[in-house]
Amino acid sequence: MNVSDLLAGYDLRKLTIGVLGGHSALDVCHGAKQWAFKTVAVAQQGREQTYSKYYKTHGELGCIDEVIIVKKFQDVLEEKIQKQLRAMNTIFIHNRYFWVYFDDFAKVENDFNVPIFGSRTLLKLEERGSTKLTTGDQKFNQYDLLRQAGIRTPKIFDHPEDIDRLCIVKASEAARGYERGFFLVHDAALWKKEGARLEEEKKIAADWRKAPIEEFIVGAPVNFNFFYSPLTGELELMGTDTRRQTNLDGFLRMTANEQNMALQYVPLKMIETGHIACTVKESLLEKAFDLAEKFVKATQNLPKELEPAGKGIIGPFALQGAVVAEEGREDIVIFDVSLRIPGSPGIAATPYSSYLHGTPMSMGERIGMEIRSAVDANALEKIIT
């Protein structure tokens, strides 16, 4: 999709920052307002009041200037909605919702004629088991990208018969296919038994046999949230956080005896419900930056069929993993990536953006800053697709 055509007719002095109403919308819109941009949220009917009422701009309060209510999120692809967005000179900010709530992501890539900040094609590489794009006969996803970058990841088992250690199976939930229904196994027999049981109990989807089988890493979970600027060529660590999961967090607050009793009545679940800001030892930062530098380079070297724009990662991304201790040293193992803004606004509570910018900065603010800098430098085409 030609960037010049996307920007045709836009008044760059009156840009609006657009989001889907969820995930990181408030973070993005608050940040956009700090840089004097208007904001618009495309909200799904029944889930709109956060944006149309509680955080709607009124006087000096709020950060959502306009709200477009649709029946379903994917209705943002309708021609009339796109016309509204273009009339507002909207630049849209990608988030996870673009994959979760859209039946055909290719329509976002090919038919959404609104400029997107960041890459419009890399998002699908996050999917470990259902990537639609292939290189020849070989599916390519985040595992392949991390491998090409030379980043340490958990061992992946292609066949349950090969399992020789504790593993986590990342199946999809039965009710919500976009959420994971994790379960632990240590051999093929347990994989078969647990998978069949959870499917029968309608806790995981019927396609669980195709789910990734991944070495279970025991360490301190940390998400490293970065920002890469094509304008400066610099990489920034915006903050670190860890996940809060239900009902896992409830179990972790119990004693061992209480956990064993509770498990007889309440099944363990690991559904992400939020994040907690955390910090890491300063001695780990150089290792984290090294991983991120490799990751950025790997995205820039992807073939045209995977990254038609040839720009690689633009703006926010996250390397999510754990810090492990082995033979007297610490290492970082990455088991998940976000190729867009992570849904963790609390990262501004960590000090890393302050060390660089002199003041705490949310990811939304950093996006607003990048877009404002690009407009001032007449370089908007470098950061949108």
Q: Give the residue from 36, 47, 41 showing the smallest Cα distance to 14.
A: 36
pLDDT the model gives residue 176 = 77
> Most distant CA pair in the chain: distance in Å?
66
Q: What distance in Å separates the CA atoms of residue 56 and residue 41, rounded to the nearest whole number?
A: 10
- Count the neighbouring beta carbons within 10 Å of the beta carbon of residue 4: 7
- Structural domains present in the chain: 3-117 (3.40.50.20), 142-149+219-357 (3.30.470.20), 156-215 (no CATH)
d(CA 150, CA 77): 37
Contacts of 281 (CB under 8 A, 6+ apart): 330
- 275 within 8 A of 344, measured Cβ to Cβ: yes
Looking at residue 337, what is its pLDDT?
A: 97
pLDDT for res 177? 67
Q: Is the peptide bond before 247 cis (omega within 30 degrees of 0)?
A: yes
Q: What is the pLDDT along the chain (385 residues), one digit of tens a residue?
A: 799 999 999 999 999 999 999 999 999 999 999 999 999 999 999 999 999 999 999 999 999 999 999 999 999 999 999 999 999 999 999 999 998 899 999 999 999 999 999 999 999 999 875 433 334 434 899 999 999 999 999 999 999 999 999 999 999 888 876 777 889 999 999 999 999 999 999 989 999 999 999 999 999 999 999 999 999 999 999 999 999 999 999 999 999 999 999 999 998 888 889 999 999 999 999 999 999 999 999 999 999 999 999 999 999 999 999 999 988 899 999 999 999 999 999 999 999 999 999 999 999 999 999 999 999 999 999 999 9
End-to-end Cα distance, the chain: 7
What local confidence, expressed as pLDDT, does residue 234 receive?
Answer: 98
The span from the CA of 372 to the CA of 323, in Å, is 36
- Which pLDDT value is given to residue 129? 59
For residue 285, what is the enclosing H or E element?
helix 285-300
